[in-house]
Amino acid sequence: MQTMEIAAILPKMKRDLVSIFDLSKEDIEQILALSLRMREQPPVDLCKGSILASCFFEPSTRTRLSFEAAMHRLGGAVIGFSEGANTSAKKGETLSDTMRVIGGYCDIAVIRHPQEGAARLAAESCAKPVINAGDGANQHPTQTLLDLFAIRECQGKIDDLSIAIAGDLKHSRTVHSLVLALTHYGVRLYFISPEPLQLPAGCAGELRKKGVKFSFHETLEEVLPKVDILYMTRVQKERFHDPSSPIPHLKKNHLAKAKTTLRILAPLPRQEELDPAIDASPHAYYFQQAQGGLYVRMAILSLFLQKTKKGEIF
């Protein structure tokens, strides 16, 4: 990637990343290209002197630790908390006041919160850029960027792929952001879930508006032989639990009829929907996917902190 290409997009990007629709396709492509650069040639001191506020009101392993590791890898510092119960929210402070105060201590903030819309409120309250690390069942845009990075890494492209997305499609914020981002690409989508956990009408409407071909299914078997990517999600038990709506479970024997080039992705954590016996299979790509999150979040922090030197990043 040319340095001037990166510099050229900075004025056009929004200050905050709350929804995947805050990014144009051009922005997404630039972040993916920069993520590759972060992996191959990490610029160690790019964020030296900057402070990330890592504000997690909900549990996380991958998102929180990869954002924090990304900031450390870039030479910056991290403040924050991993549960709201350790903040003055416990004493009744509003999210708006909390984020307004945190904005005075940091240069960029990442927030995860159980309520839909919390990231937007945080962005409106904080004087510094705010990145949504998951707000309720709404969106998880940085997960989507690492999902797209993984798809391109394992298949060499995003366009012209057949992609199946299985599980609790109704409550999965990773699914919502990913589906909306895929409207930028020439993909064929297959959605596999029980009817009560189907994709929200709003996401399906966006697919129709953009002319993306998609269909709904109830079993993995009817779709698996056709697809290049299988994206497995868990039941979002923290938002919903209905044992009468069991989601598809992927077992090793299902893969006998898959294309040899099929790659399985998952935002993780997994429950029983993704059999650990699959981990050793060449189809499994979910741990590499999680590793890519580090490079993608290095790219996101660099761009949203506008770390430029005379108009150039490197």
Q: Is 172 in the site for ligand CP (CB under 6 A)?
A: no
Residue with tokens 């060449």, as numbered in its chain:
282
62 binds ligand CP (CB under 6 A): yes
Contact status, residue 168 vs residue 236, Cβ threshold 8 Å: yes
Closest CA to 203 of 182, 217, 227: 182
**Cα-Cα end-to-end distance for the chain:** 11
> Is 213 known to be catalytic?
no
The residue type at 209: K
| Rounded distance between C-alpha atoms, residue 73 and residue 67, angstroms | 10
Binding positions for ligand CP, 131-170, rule CB under 6 A:
134, 140, 143
Angle between the N-to-C axes of helices 286-304 and 62-73, in degrees from 0 to 180, rounded to the nearest 10: 50
Q: Which is nearer to ligand CP, 60 or 313 (CB)?
A: 60
Which is nearest to 215 in space by CA: 206, 204, 225?
A: 204
Q: Based on the residue annotation, tell me whether 62 is a catalytic residue of this protein.
A: yes
Q: In angstroms, what is the minimal distance from the CB of 254 to ligand CP?
A: 23
Determine which residue in the list 60, 144, 183, 302 makes contact with ligand CP, applying CB under 6 A: 60
In the complex with ligand CP, which residue's Cβ is closer, 73 or 173? Answer: 173
* Closer of 63 and 138 to ligand CP (Cβ): 63
Nearer to ligand CP, 129 or 267 (CB): 267
Catalytic residue among 73, 112, 173, 263: 112
Show contacts with ligand CP in window 257-286 (CB under 6 A): 267-269
Q: What is the arrangement of strands in the sheet containing 77-81, beginning at the earlier edge strand? A: 77-81, 51-56, 108-113, 130-135
From the CB of 140, what's the least distance to ligand CP, in Å? 6
* Minimum separation from the CB atom of position 94 to ligand CP (A): 25
- Among the listed ranges 60-68, 93-101, 119-127, 241-249, the one in contact with ligand CP (CB under 6 A) is 60-68
Burial of 217 (C-beta count, 10 Å sphere; 0-12/13-18/19+):
middle
Q: Does residue 72 carry a catalytic annotation?
A: no
Report in angstroms how near the CB of residue 298 gets to ligand CP at its nearest: 16
Nearest to 164 by CA among 255, 89, 225, 73: 225
By CB under 6 A, the count of residues binding ligand CP is 10
Active site residues: 62-63, 91, 112, 140
Which residues of this chain interact with ligand CP, rule CB under 6 A? 60-63, 134, 140, 143, 267-269
